[in-house]
Amino acid sequence: MDSEWVIDAQGLEKSYGSGASRFDALKGVSVQIAPGETVAIVGKSGSGKSTLMHLLALLDEPDRGTLQVAGNDAKSLSKRAVNELRNKEFGFVFQQFFLTPNVSVLDNVILPLKIAGTGGKERRRRGMEVLEQLELADKAGNKATTLSGGQKQRVVIGRALVNAPRVIFADEPTGNLDTATGAVVEDILFDLNRSQGITLVIVTHDEELAARCDRQIYIRDGLVVSRTASTHTGAHALSTADALTAGGAA
Amino acid sequence: MRTKDLVTTAISNTFRSKLRTTLTVLAIFVGAFTLTLTNAVGAGVSQYVDAQVGALGSPDVFIITQASDATAAGDGPVEYDASSSASVSSNQGPPGTTTKALTDTDLATIGDTAGIESVDPIRSVQPDYIEYDSGIPYEFSINATSAVTTADLTAGAQLDGGASEAQLVLPDTFVTPLGFASADDAVGASVSIGITDILGETHVVDATVVGVSLESLLAAGAGANDALIAELADAQSGGIDTAVTSYGVAVAHFDTALSADAVTALKADLATAGYTASTIEDQLGAVQTVINGIVGVLNAFAVIALIAAAFGIINTLLMSVQERTREIGLMKAMGMSGGKVYTLFSLEAIVIGFLGSAIGAGVAIALGSALSAVLSQGLLAGLPGLNILVFEPASVAFVIGLVMLIAFLSGTLPAQRAAKQNPIESLRYE
Ligand SMILES: Nc1ncnc2c1ncn2[C@@H]1O[C@H](COP(=O)(O)OP(=O)(O)OP(=O)(O)O)[C@@H](O)[C@H]1O
Ligand SMILES: [Mg+2]
């Protein structure tokens, strides 16, 4: 992977609806993410965190602003190339689990590989490897609905991981979990970042989780703000956030 | 996604909502079942008619009548003309139909037409009974056109038109009553035919059985060659020259070497001369047209059932798309193209269509074959050789293919919906 691999977003704007019901969810957000970095997108509910993550992950298109992914302008990429990028280079952990019920844990995990067109044998091998890594190998044949919340979230991480992505986008990965289980899931994610160099973009309102990231981007009402303007946390988070978001704010 | 994965995923998705799939499949089942059966009836009847045509069809024979004088209602009465108005009842057309008679002059004209080799009037004879070896006599009739047709034989040989010996082809129902051990046993035997002349006196004519035939739907009675018919006609007339110079029907042989076009041209020539010429195939073709018409109507009902089922498929798949909004969103988020999503749902529709039609056709074949066997022993025993339901692999495959096509078309709308879904909207969907 070349050092060019970055997400470079400038002046992203996104609004929903039109006329009187028009709502500006993002009002000009600039974000840069370097390879191998862990970045937290922090903000209150409704501040536009998920919206921003969706734009960065090419799941949605901004109304205004430019977005470069690995040196390519997102607008210039064909639909097919965007699909390919999301399938091969990105892993997703959404705000909800989105596991397919009545389908086995293994089948849930290998969904991205199936979409990619990987052969059945290879899919199984990769899927089991990931499940072992997440200590879920014994649950491979179980239906997804029979798992506990923490186990489900690990399956979701397994699914994000199975295609060996360069970036994992995680939207509130611990939001549905109790503190202890949440900590386990966090450890797994940061471990992946350390051992495999996977870039992490974590959306959260949990200050402690944000503090574990290399860098925090604070969002308020669709704008990037400095840490002090959003909430207050420990001195560690404060210094990194101020240092790194200064250039990004519009 | 690989094609194989798409197919297996579609199949397993179909079985996810078992009750809903079952009900939809049932609706298709009804249509496919009906369509398979009606097609089988059509095939069974046409196969039977074909066999009859094959058995009866002398390819070089025209059956000739005067062009029909049926007057259109409203034309008023037709003026009598002594030279042409003599009508005879004939067995051409519905019972009670009369056609203008053919006279000896007509026969000469027909015989002179280029392409016609010979022309003979058909003389009908009404024998009273048949008996063998002075046993019990049985009522008996002779098919007037049998001399020019080919019987569906179970034993022996066809009639020899040129033979001077009086020959008979016996319907197989007579074999046992007359006292023969088997059909083969009857062949070669000499039987006696009783006939009453116009003066009320009974004559007995002897004939040799040359063959035994299956009873036919279209040509009832025994077959007799020209020699036997002539002998019976003579006996019937009681030696009195009744000067029968008008006949309902004549049989004309034409050159077998003529092409189909030349035969058509010949028919046209005869038509301009005022005669209706039809081959046996033409006549049976009319029967087949009626049957095809009936089968067509039945098929139309089956197709209506299938169209109703198509709405069932649309509904099922729309519900399925709705239910799986998040799953579709997730797959699209993970890079599945809209085209593949479309294919996936279309395949699900096709799988449902295949299930319904394959089960429908399968059950129709199983039930139909059993029914056909029972019927041919019971209700339809009077029509030997008739298999009322014939399941042709090609037509069964066509029904399954048609249903799958209907299912695919029904799946387009839901599949399009699924393919167009915005992943973000879908993932937000509660
Ligand atoms: N499809 C939509 N139509 C209209 N408004 C929308 C739509 N999606 C998001 N919004 C609005 O945009 C704003 C930002 O939404 P977003 O989901 O990004 O918030 P968030 O920061 O992720 O919040 P949370 O922490 O609760 O997940 C919200 O006010 C939301 O109501
Ligand atoms: Mg959110």
Q: CA nearest B147: which of B205, B230, B215, B65? A: B230
* A91: in domain: yes
Q: Show Cβ contacts of residue B141 under 8 Å, excluding neighbours closer than 6 positions.
A: B126, B127, B220, B221, B222
What is residue A71's predicted lDDT score, i.e. its pLDDT?
83
CA of A97 to the centre of ligand 1 (A): 18
For the segment B191-220, what is each residue's pLDDT rounded down to a tens digit?
Answer: 989 888 878 888 888 999 998 888 766 567
Go through A199-232 and write b for each residue having 16 or more CB atoms within 10 A of its CB, e for each that does not: bbbbbbbbbebbbbbebbbbbbebbbbebeebee
Count how many domains chain A has: 1
Average of per-residue pLDDT values in chain B: 81
* CATH number for A169: 3.40.50.300
The minimum CA-CA distance between B337 and chain A, rounded to whole Å, is 7
- Residue B392 makes CB contacts below 8 A (sequence gap 6+) with B39, B40, B43
For A27, A52, A240, B172, the CA distances from A16, given in Å and listed in that order, are 12, 13, 32, 87
DSSP, residue by residue, B81-132 = -TTT--EEE-SSSSTT-EEEPEEHHHHHHHHHSTTEEEEEE-------EEES
pLDDT at A249: 39
Quick one: which of B348, B335, B408 has its CA closest to B1?
B335
Mean pLDDT for B65-79 is 60
Which pLDDT band holds residue B287 (cuts at 50, 70, 90)? confident
Q: Is residue A1 part of a domain?
A: no
Identify the bridge partners of residue B191 per DSSP, sorted by sequence position. B207
Q: Tokens at residue A4, please? A: 């060019």
What does the alpha-carbon distance between residue B388 and residue B44 come to, in Å, rounded to a whole number? Answer: 5
**Locus of tokens 């844990």:** A105
Give the count of beta carbons closer than 10 Å to the beta carbon of residue B3. 11
Residues B343 and B337: their CA atoms lie apart, in Å, by: 10
Residue B132 confidence (pLDDT)? 87
A67 assigned to some structural domain: yes
Q: Could you tell me which residues come within 8 angstroms of residue B335 by beta carbon, excluding any fewer than 6 positions away?
A: A83, A84, A85, A86, A87, A88, A112, A115, A116
How far is the centre of ligand 2, averaged over its atoms, from the C-alpha of A52 (Å)?
9
CA angle, residues A91, A153, A158, in degrees to nearest 5: 45
For chain B, the structural domain boundaries read 3-54+286-427, 60-279
Query: Residue A235's pLDDT is what?
Result: 42
Euclidean distance between CA atoms B97 and B88, whole angstroms:
9
Rounded CA-CA distance B336/A158 in Å is: 18
Contact B427 A112 (CB under 8 A): no
Res B408 pLDDT > 60: yes
Are B423 and A85 in contact (CB < 8 Å)?
A: no
pLDDT 10s digits, B331-359? 999 999 999 999 999 999 999 999 999 99
User: Mutation test of ligand 1: which of A16, A171, A176 has the most ligand atoms closer than 8 Å to its C-beta?
Assistant: A16
**Cβ–Cβ gap B327/A100 under 8 Å:** yes
Ligand 1 site, CB within 6 A? A 16-17, 23, 25, 43, 45-51, 95, 205
Residue in A with minimal Cα distance to B326: A98
| A197 occurs within a structural domain | yes
Q: Count of residues for chain B?
A: 430
Q: Which residues in chain B are contacts of A92 at CB distance < 8 A?
A: 333-334
Question: Per the domain annotation, does A2 fall within a domain?
Answer: no
Contacts of A84 in chain B (CB under 8 A): 335
Q: What is the pLDDT of residue A184?
A: 85
Q: Whose CA is nearest to atom 17 of ligand 1?
A: A50
**pLDDT greater at residue A81 or residue B429:** A81
Q: With a CB-CB cutoff of 8 Å, which residues 108-137 of chain A face chain B?
A: 111-112, 114-117, 119-120
Q: What residues of chain B lie within 8 A of the CB of A83, using their CB?
A: 335-337
Bigger pLDDT: B402 vs B151: B402
Residue B342 to residue B340: CA distance in whole angstroms: 5
To test the contact with chain B by mutation, choose from A80, A114, A156 the residue with the greatest count of B C-beta atoms within 10 A, namely A114
User: Cα dihedral sign for A168, A171, A176, A181?
Assistant: positive
CA A173 – CA A156 distance, rounded (Å): 9
Residue A211 lies in a domain: yes
- The nearest alpha carbon in chain B to A123 belongs to B5
Per cent of chain B over pLDDT 90 is 20
A62 touches chain B (CB under 8 A): no
Name which of A168, A145, A178 is nearest A89 in CA terms: A168
Q: How far is it, in rounded angstroms, from Cα B136 to Cα B115? A: 47
What pLDDT shows up at residue A232?
Answer: 47
Query: Is the pLDDT higher at A50 or at B277?
Result: A50
- Residue B402: both structure tokens together: 């048609």
Kindly report the number of other CB atoms within 10 A of residue B256's CB atom: 10
Query: B171 - beta bridge partners?
Result: B213
DSSP A47: S
Please count the other Cβ atoms lying within 10 Å of the Cβ belonging to residue B327. 19
Residue B72 has pLDDT above 60, yes or no: no
CA–CA separation, B333 and A59 (whole Å): 6
Q: Are B184 and B260 in contact (CB under 8 A)?
A: no
Range of the domain at A156: 7-246
Picking from A80, A115, A117, the nearest residue to B331 by CB comes out as A115
Min Cα separation B301/chain A (Å)? 39
User: Residue B292 Cα, ligand 2 centroid: separation in angstroms?
Assistant: 66
Per-residue pLDDT at B244 exceeds 60: no
The answer for A241, left when phi > 0, alpha when psi is -120 to 50, beta otherwise, is: alpha
Digit-by-digit pLDDT tens for chain A (250 residues) are: 444 557 999 999 999 988 888 999 999 999 999 999 999 999 988 899 999 999 999 999 999 999 999 888 989 999 999 999 999 999 999 888 899 888 899 999 999 999 999 998 999 999 999 999 888 999 999 998 899 888 998 999 999 989 989 999 999 888 878 888 888 889 989 999 999 899 999 999 888 899 999 999 999 999 998 875 555 444 444 444 444 444 443 3
Cα–ligand 1 centroid distance for A51 (angstroms): 6
ipTM: 0.86
Q: Please state the separation of Cα B280 from the chain's center in Å.
A: 14
pLDDT at residue A113, rounded to an integer:
95
Amino acid making up residue A204: T
Q: Describe the strand order of the beta sheet including B116-121 as a list of residue ranges.
A: B116-121, B250-254, B61-66, B275-278
The Cα B58–Cα B54 span in angstroms is 8
Give the distance (Å) from ligand 1 centre to CA of residue B426: 14
Identify which of A206, A169, A184, A77 has the alpha carbon closest to the alpha carbon of residue A134.
A184
Rounded to the nearest angstrom, the minimum Cα separation between A82 and chain B is 8
The Cα B414–Cα B345 span in angstroms is: 7
Lowest-confidence segment of A70-84, B276-290, B415-429 by average pLDDT: B276-290
Residue A241 Cα to ligand 1 midpoint, Å, equals 23
Distances B239 to B125, B198, B199, B226, B232 between C-alpha atoms, Å: 15, 10, 10, 18, 11
The reply to whether A92 touches chain B by the CB within 8 Å rule is yes
- Smallest CA–CA distance, residue B422 to chain A, in Å, is 9
B2 touches chain A (CB under 8 A): yes
**Nearest residue to A41 (alpha-carbon basis) of A241, A242, A247, A243:** A241
* Tokens (6 digits) for B285: 């073709």
Question: Contacts of residue A115 in chain B, CB cutoff 8 Å?
Answer: 1, 331, 334-336, 340
pTM for this predicted structure: 0.72
Q: In B132-159, which positions are buried (b, 16+ CB within 10 angstroms) versus exposed (e)?
A: beeeeeeebebbbbbbbbbbbbbbbebb
Give the mean pLDDT of B167-181.
87
For B:304-363, CB contacts with A below 8 A are 326-327, 329-331, 333-337, 340
Per-residue confidence (pLDDT) for residue A245, from 0 to 100: 45
How many other β-carbons are positioned within 10 Å of the β-carbon of residue A244?
16
HSE-up of residue A61 (Cα within 13 Å, Cβ side): 10
Mutate to test the pocket of ligand 1, among A12, A13, A26, A47 (most ligand atoms within 8 A of CB): A47
User: For residue A183, how many C-alpha atoms fall within 13 Å in the half-sphere facing its CB?
Assistant: 2
Tell me which residue in B2, B337, B422 faces A83 most closely, judged by beta carbons: B337
Length of chain A (residues): 250
Q: How confident is the model at residue B120 (pLDDT cuts 50, 70, 90)?
A: confident
Distance in Å from the first CA to the final CA of chain B: 27
Span from the CA of A229 to the centroid of ligand 1 (angstroms): 20
